[in-house]
Amino acid sequence: MYVFYSFVLLISLLIYIPVHFVRIKLLRGESFFLRDRLGRRLNDDDAQKQSLWIHAVSVGEVLSLQNLIRKIKEKHPAWTIHFSTLTNTGMRVAKEKLTDADNIFFVPLDFKYVVRKYFNTLRPRVFVLAESELWPNLLREANRQTKGVLLINGRISSRSFKRYSRFKFVAKKILKNIDLFLVQTEKDKENLERIGVNSGVVEVVRNLKSEINLPILTEEDLLKLKSNLSIPVTNRVIVAGSTRKGEEKELIEAYSRAKSVKENLLLILAPRHPERFDEVERICQDFPFKVMRRTQVSPDKQWDILILDTIGELAHFYALSDVSFVGGSLVPWGGQNLLEPAFYKKPIFFGPHMENFAFLAEKFVQSGAARIINKNKDLDEMFLARDEESLEKMGRSAKETLNSLQGATEKTIKAIEAMMADS
């Protein structure tokens, strides 16, 4: 199986690299960092120390591990923490945010000899995998060369479950390399058991993202931020975060209808992926609004729609918003993380497609902290929402619901400590 997988991966890379060269290198001016992904620049200065290797795929997962890594380092300052990520944006955010990680690098290309080089160089005692980033050769080598392989903050979405069920034999073979699964919900545990994972190695510890540690912004901070962004204090700000293709037009149409009724509305769109910034700007320009990018705005420039074309600022924009919309939910994508607006006590709205965050979506709706948008009328009401007291109550409920979901970080640290001690 592993030989066949490696062959398919090689063919895929041979096809992908020329496409990447055009899309990423020529159009966006970014590198694939091939030498890095082959381990040519791997740092082995701390190879003799007690260490663990944590891997997360991209920005969302990287940010969710900030608190965990900080607390591990506080409790075990002598441990070396190696951290890998898959994407270029994940790498940029990791280098900026994960200041307690000792060594940050790209995850190796998933070929046996490349992966083996990483383990031979770093010699981690424990390998920790975040959420559901399953690389077969990486996991196999981790199982062979470490004292423990741990999946943290695990979740098995409906889409993933269907895929794993279709190839159950292969999925079981890959998942056997993991010694302990720490998952977010009972549903995730049930899905893993149905795939064939032993129930004795699956524990429900809740969601690490629930314990996000974001900057506290004072009223003065928010006023200064609004001033820098040319946002009048009397205007209502709606932030649509992590939007996907097909959502922006629907949001702008609803905004247009609402603005004809209520003039003092401002819309901030934060596309999920940077490569869509230009596309979203073109969509906005089809409407009679003043459109501006975050990187162009200044206190003297007025706008109706602002495009957040930077990485890592969405939380601050949720903080200054009056209403927050969670993207990836009007279209069948599965939704996005709704915990950042909850941290800042914001009323939360999302569409009917929150399958990837079903547990959280249900919790927040049940507590009155969030509302589901099923039709255009619901979108219009989100923009117009005349009952300020009701919005404030939703925001308070969001914070209370978030606080009720705590506990995953401490349980995760205990599991890592147990594996490190066994070694």
Dihedral sign from CA coordinates of 391, 392, 397, 403 = positive
Does 219-403 carry CATH code 3.40.50.720?
A: no
The tokens describing 28, both together, are: 């966006």
Residue 83 backbone dihedrals phi, psi, to 5 degrees: -135, 130
The SS3 of residue 168 is helix
Query: From CA 27, how far away is CA 32, in angstroms rounded?
Result: 13
Residue 235, amino acid? N
φ, ψ at 196 (rounded to 5°):
130, 5
Q: How many CB atoms lie within 10 A of CB 96?
A: 11
Q: Which CATH architecture has domain 28-206+407-422?
A: 3-Layer(aba) Sandwich (3.40)
Q: Six-digit token pair at 36?
A: 């890095």
Instruction: Give pLDDT, residue 8.
Output: 75
Domain with CATH 3.40.50.11720 in the chain: 28-206+407-422
* pLDDT less than 70: residues of the chain: 17, 19-29, 44-48, 423
Q: How far apart are CA 54 and CA 182, in angstroms?
A: 14
Give the helix ranges, DSSP H, for 21-157: 34-37, 59-64, 66-75, 88-97, 112-122, 136-145
pLDDT attached to residue 20: 65
Task: Name beta bridge partners: 266.
Answer: 237
For the chain, residues classed under CATH 3.40.50.2000 are 219-403
pLDDT confidence of residue 22: 62
Q: Quick one: angle between helices 408-422 and 66-75, nearest 10?
A: 50
Please work out, in degrees rounded to the nearest 5, the angle formed at the alpha carbon of residue 275 by the alpha carbons of 269 and 276.
40
Beta bridge partners of 127: 53, 149
Question: What HEC string does 352-380 produce?
Answer: CCCHHHHHHHHHHHHCCCEEECCCHHHHH
Give me the amino acid identity at 175.
L
Question: What token pair was written down for 285?
Answer: 């320009």
CB 336 within 8 A of CB 242: yes
Rounded to 5°, the CA angle 125-130-133 comes to 105
* Among candidate residues 314, 272, 269, the one with its CA nearest the CA of residue 287: 269
